[in-house]
Structure 1
Amino acid sequence: ISNEHVPANSFTLHNAITDKAVFKGKAEIYSGKDWGLRSAARLDFSDIESPGGYYIRVGSIKSDPFRIAADVYKGTADYLLRYMRQQRCGYNPYYADSCHTHDGYIVDHPEKTGEIIDVTGGWHDASDYLQYVTTSANAVYQMLFAWKRNPEVFTDYYDASGNRGSNGIPDILDEAKWGIDWLIKMNPDSGEMYNQIADDRDHRGFRIPAEDKVSYGNGLYRPVYFVTGKSQGLASYKNRTTGVSSTAGKYASAFALGSEIFREFDPALADKLAVRAMDAWQFALTDVGVTQTACTVSPYFYEEDNYVDDLELAGWEMFSLTGDSSYLVQADYWGTLEPVSPWIEKDTARHYQFYPFVNLGHACIGLSETAYSDKYIAFMRKGLRLMEDRRKDDPFRVKVPFIWCSNNYVTAALTQIMLYTEASGDQSFRKSEAALRDWLFGCNPWGTTMICGLPAGGDYPLYPHAALTALRGKIPEGGLIDGPVFSGIYNGLIGVTLLRPDPYAVFQNGKVVYHDDIGDYSTNEPTMDGTADLTIYLSALENEGVKQSGNESDVVIDEQGAIIRKNPGNKEIFLLFSADEYGEGFVHILNVLSRHKAGGSFFLTGNFLRNRKFSSVVKRIISDGHFLGPHSDRHLLYA
């Protein structure tokens, strides 16, 4: 995208090592008017599948080099969990400290208002410290769903507390269980559910979690909102709650899927969750309607207006858990009431009005190969077709509404396309999927990815709206930021002030804006639920890459990407030797290897290779047929 005419209607793809042109393509030319610039072009080289390093040339313009490979998404789903661990409330492993240990005191309960309840745990919602069952139960469910579909890609480098050290349970399940433990606290008994900790009085500037001293009039205790099914708000501002189904349905789905998955790891927990799921399902039907989050000092709350999707998914998960077909009948009843996610149909929404952003109930039934499957595949296709048919002249092909948390809508659309494609076999939305995926990874006017710290060495948000960045100068790694918004929305916000010159200023004159700036809470704030939601899609990409490369189980790779074990199913060891300034044992080592007809791998520093007294050793390593590879140049630890 440019303020000048595209210099050519063709482009070439070059091998980054040889500079040889390996592909010539035709540029698709678009107007850049909607984006505040003169012209734009799409360059499609999808036919190139050979692994390697490449760059693009358009006229005299040359891109940065990039890599094509089956494993480019390896580790990305696990990377998102860094942000989830950083968002933990109670004990926080990132800070090695605890916060909000006094949570909390009950409000809006007919008998227990003012009583103390232990609900410490869970996750902070974003860069503020509010906690919602709405987003947390959804985050738990989507991480469990990601594990259920792609267990092969998730690793175990952290324990249940989020500290370094494996515990025999994949890290994504540790994270999901952290959320489940909190949900159990927030649902201490049948018919007793709580929906929220704290409220908008929290919004008083940046502070480190353990140093949060915001008072709600009861010392360090924060309010815990009882699910009443009625409008709530402790002052003049009220939400529009109409019932309990949206919250109770989310509890039921998370508990039911949790029971299924943790059966292998913790049977006692699985039994407990099965009972909780049944209770939550029954409670969801006692007062049909939505439970919105509560506000106090401003009209800021999550305006969730739909609940039938929550009952559909809960019904499906109860059927999946119990095998009782009556739950599937009920799931179909509720699912039929909302064939298309309303934000897709309307192409807009108020803040969190239609939530979750992706209807996984539709996907589960569509994938189920039951008598209902075809109907739900058609529902999914209808929604995707509505998006596909909009704004056909847009060069970026991103058809979601650019409202607050637009990246969450991008993630939802990606997830729906992926699951629809699997359920139907229909490949017709693959180009839309690629455009949405590429948008998150830098194919946007600002040329930035939308995930803090990913990819390493890439262009990603450096100044997100986060206390960690504002007060400690560090980025919240793995966090998916809110994403761009319509300029009209941004210009109407209160309290948004950019804190540094905008390096993207030339790209802010169109319909949408994005600022990599700590002061912009509307476009550059990471969110917990959006990050958790992305685990489904990224784990699927990683799993697909593993299958393409044919290396499902031949290597074990650590968190930093290093191979630490090969062929774990084989009784085979590899002998590795390294050296820097000393080499007195090499003759003995080489003699032993020769006697046993064994091979070794030798990684030697530049110091060792330059030392003439070791030249005969180096020559023998080569002549004996061992592997000789480079280490660091001058220090054994620098590898």
Structure 2
Amino acid sequence: MSINVVFAQQSSWIRVNQLGYLPEGKKVVVWVTKGEKSVKSFQVVDAQTKKTVYRAKVNKVFGKYGPFTKGARLDISAVKKSGTYYVVTDDGTRSPLIKINEDVYKGTADFALRYMRQQRTLFNPFLKDSCHTHDGFTMYASSVGLPDSTRIDVAGGWHDASDYLQYSTTSANATFHLLAAYRDFPFVFGDEKQANGLDGKNGVPDVLDEAKWGLDWLLKMHPQPNMMFNQIADDRDHASMRLPGQDSLYGRGHERPVYFIDGNPQQRGKFLNNTTGTSSTAGKFAGAFALGYHLLRDKDAQYAAILKEKAKTAYDYAYIKPGVTQTVSVKSPYIYAEDNWVDDMELAETMLYTITRDEKNLQKALEYARQEPVTPWMIRDTANHYQYYPFINLGHFELAKVTQGEIRKEVLDYYKKGIEYVWSRAKENMFYRGVPFIWCSNNLTTSFAIQAYWYRQLSGDVQYEELEQANVDWLFGVNPWGTSMVYGLPADGDTPTDPHSAFTHLHNYPIDGGLVDGPVYASIFNSLIGIKLSKPDEYAEFQSDLAVYHDDFGDYSTNEPTMDGTASLIYLLSAKEAESKKKLLTNSVQ
């Protein structure tokens, strides 16, 4: 008997959500094996009393996926009593401890906010020091009377990832997610920080402080009705790993370049990017400014009035030249190659409607929604880096909220179609994995979970609830590698310890709450430039020809935390925490 148990431990595993499960929620763990033996039944054991509290048969065994020969989904949703449990299958495989209680998501959104504060530029509360105070000098802005190298004040905002570039498109999306989290779930956030991010209450939920930090920078990046900028710095930033400071990489002392949005192609290494217009970034600005206006008008009327005006001028800027704005690189070909923009205009029109109540805005929003009903990566199961961004159509949610009847149903059906595309792939494997393993796959996973959540909340259709939860579970351990993808969450779990981050690599500073990029197709990993693992791969037995993930500083493709992905995660975690407070939840999203 002991020999069989040892064999099972070495070749079979049970993956669980390390955060835990809500008592009334969907609860599924995943058994996987690299052997040939299958499973037919399982039991749930109370870890304290050692008594079996639930038994069930395995309904379906899935075939080969990634490194595993087979696997099964073990539904333990019938166990609703709070406690700590473990699952044992009839082949002797035992799971890690499983937590079930209403507080498993409590404080997690605030925890992830730590990473956002750590990514602040101008004043960085984690370092208690200022950085990048000299930004910046203009590029491509001569058409509005700013010759190249003109000084302009755009200091502030967030660093984008583990490097110190700053992008308007990711920052506007992050700001919108933070604002939406506060709007939809204000009761889950605490007030432990001042506006500058240092310790101390200021009467404002910390998530709103962080969102306003983003808004403040977006205002600087849209200083005049005829001026909007798309990024600060470029890939010359990658010359070295360092803490944020006074960079001297661009030939003008400590100033960094600030790239103007003119709607025309700009530099991409030796070539030009595929910019076609001004709409993608400007549409995101308009949406964030409009939502900021609504949430702040009763708190700071003067500031809100500025946001209201900027929402309108950003909206006008989006129509200067309809099309997409891509980012700039100088040395390498890697950029945020965003290729869609009508989703951003749907959001802009919808949010402008909430200000103007002009039916023309609503009609235009619906026209844009019909042009891209489903975010293309869901259909294609692949995409280039940030090709379809945001990874979720925010406009559909906002449009559904302000419409009724057939129009609302039409928009929600668009969400359903996207979910169905992913489900058609997900139902074929034990992890219910239908999200592609492209660069930043965790960001897509988070966005998809939010889309499924929004669809469920607004339609009342619960048929995709298990798929929705499977994507949440993936982020916290129900994946081939059995690891959480969020630094330090949970504190007692297997989480990233060696991310591609200067904070951790140089000084061992924790990057609490940072969502790392996530697994990529092995074909992508093998094609990238400059990746070299720095130590033996602790997850070697779980890598495959399908996908790889490394908790290794040397792998910037799977283990680099991102600011915008973390902002999306903050929304998702706040939604999950709110699920344990259903009465308040119902009022917050209708």
Q: TM-score, normalised by structure 1?
A: 0.84
* Alpha-carbon distance change, 45 to 510 in structure 1, aligned in 2, over 3 angstroms: farther
3-state SS of 1:62 partner: coil
Contact 2:269/2:332 (<8 A) preserved: no
* Alpha-carbon distance change, 21 to 510 in structure 1, aligned in 2, over 3 angstroms: farther
Which residue of the partner structure matches residue 35 of structure 1?
66
3-state SS of 2:425 partner: coil
Calculate the aligned-residue CA RMSD, in Å.
Answer: 1.6
Which residue of the partner structure matches residue 10 of structure 2?
none
Matched, 1:330 2:364: yes
3-state SS of 2:130 partner: strand
Which residue of the partner structure matches residue 12 of structure 2?
none
Which whole-Å deviations, capped at 9, do the CAs of 1:532-562 have from their partners, x for residues lacking one? Answer: 0112221111111133899x9xxxxxxxxxx
> CA separation in 2, counterparts of 1:192 and 1:426?
44
> CA separation in 1, counterparts of 2:496 and 2:235?
26
Counterpart selection for 2:574 from 539, 544, 548: 539
> CA separation in 1, counterparts of 2:96 and 2:420?
34
- Which amino acid letter does the alignment assign opposite residue 47 of structure 1? A
Contact 1:242/1:289 (<8 A) preserved: yes
* Alpha-carbon distance change, 31 to 333 in structure 1, aligned in 2, over 3 angstroms: closer
Give the Å deviation of 1:345. 1.5
* Alpha-carbon distance change, 549 to 236 in structure 1, aligned in 2, over 3 angstroms: closer
Structure 2, gaps ≥5 residues long: 1-31
> CA separation in 2, counterparts of 1:219 and 1:236?
25
> CA separation in 1, counterparts of 2:577 and 2:37?
35
Contact 1:464/1:475 (<8 A) preserved: no
Matched, 1:99 2:131: yes
Give the Å deviation of 1:46. 1.2
* % identical aligned pairs: 49
**Equivalent residues in 2 for 1:486-565, closer than 5 Å:** 486-547=521-582
Contact 1:191/1:280 (<8 A) preserved: no
- Which amino acid letter does the alignment assign opposite residue 46 of structure 1? S
- Which amino acid letter does the alignment assign opposite residue 136 of structure 2? G
3-state SS of 1:61 partner: coil
> CA separation in 1, counterparts of 2:62 and 2:305?
58
Aligned residues: 550
Matched, 1:262 2:296: yes
Structure 1 or 2, whichever has the larger Rg, is: 1
* Alpha-carbon distance change, 117 to 91 in structure 1, aligned in 2, over 3 angstroms: same
Q: Which of 231-240 and 157-166 deviates more?
A: 231-240
Give the Å deviation of 1:441. 0.9
Which residue of the partner structure matches residue 78 of structure 1?
110
> CA separation in 1, counterparts of 2:377 and 2:433?
14
Contact 2:269/2:333 (<8 A) preserved: no
Which residue of the partner structure matches residue 343 of structure 2?
309
- Which amino acid letter does the alignment assign opposite residue 304 of structure 2? A
> CA separation in 2, counterparts of 1:160 and 1:244?
32
Give the Å deviation of 1:390. 1.8
Which residue of the partner structure matches residue 259 of structure 2?
225
Contact 2:268/2:332 (<8 A) preserved: no
> CA separation in 2, counterparts of 1:115 and 1:43?
61
Give the Å deviation of 1:31. 4.8
Which whole-Å deviations, capped at 9, do the CAs of 1:4-23 have from their partners, x for residues lacking one? Answer: 23453111101111000000
Matched, 1:462 2:491: no
- Which amino acid letter does the alignment assign opposite residue 77 of structure 2? S
Counterpart selection for 1:47 from 61, 64, 78: 78
Contact 2:137/2:152 (<8 A) preserved: yes
3-state SS of 1:269 partner: helix
Contact 1:53/1:66 (<8 A) preserved: yes
Which residue of the partner structure matches residue 376 of structure 2?
342
Structure 1, gaps ≥5 residues long: 553-639
Which residue of the partner structure matches residue 394 of structure 1?
429
Give the Å deviation of 1:493. 1.0
> CA separation in 1, counterparts of 2:96 and 2:302?
53
> CA separation in 1, counterparts of 2:403 and 2:345?
20
Contact 1:292/1:302 (<8 A) preserved: yes
Contact 2:501/2:561 (<8 A) preserved: yes
- Which amino acid letter does the alignment assign opposite residue 55 of structure 1? Y
Give the Å deviation of 1:32. 5.5
Contact 1:87/1:123 (<8 A) preserved: yes
Q: TM-score, normalised by structure 2?
A: 0.91
> CA separation in 1, counterparts of 2:362 and 2:134?
41
Which residue of the partner structure matches residue 4 of structure 1?
35
Which whole-Å deviations, capped at 9, do the CAs of 1:314-338 have from their partners, x for residues lacking one? Answer: 1111111232222111111111111
Matched, 1:197 2:244: no
> CA separation in 2, counterparts of 1:490 and 1:391?
22
Greater RCO, 1 or 2 (C-alpha within 8 Å, sep 6+) = 2
Which whole-Å deviations, capped at 9, do the CAs of 1:406-427 have from their partners, x for residues lacking one? Answer: 0011011101100001111111
- Which amino acid letter does the alignment assign opposite residue 79 of structure 1? F
> CA separation in 2, counterparts of 1:61 and 1:549?
40
* Alpha-carbon distance change, 71 to 308 in structure 1, aligned in 2, over 3 angstroms: same
> CA separation in 1, counterparts of 2:104 and 2:531?
36
Counterpart selection for 2:506 from 422, 447, 471: 471
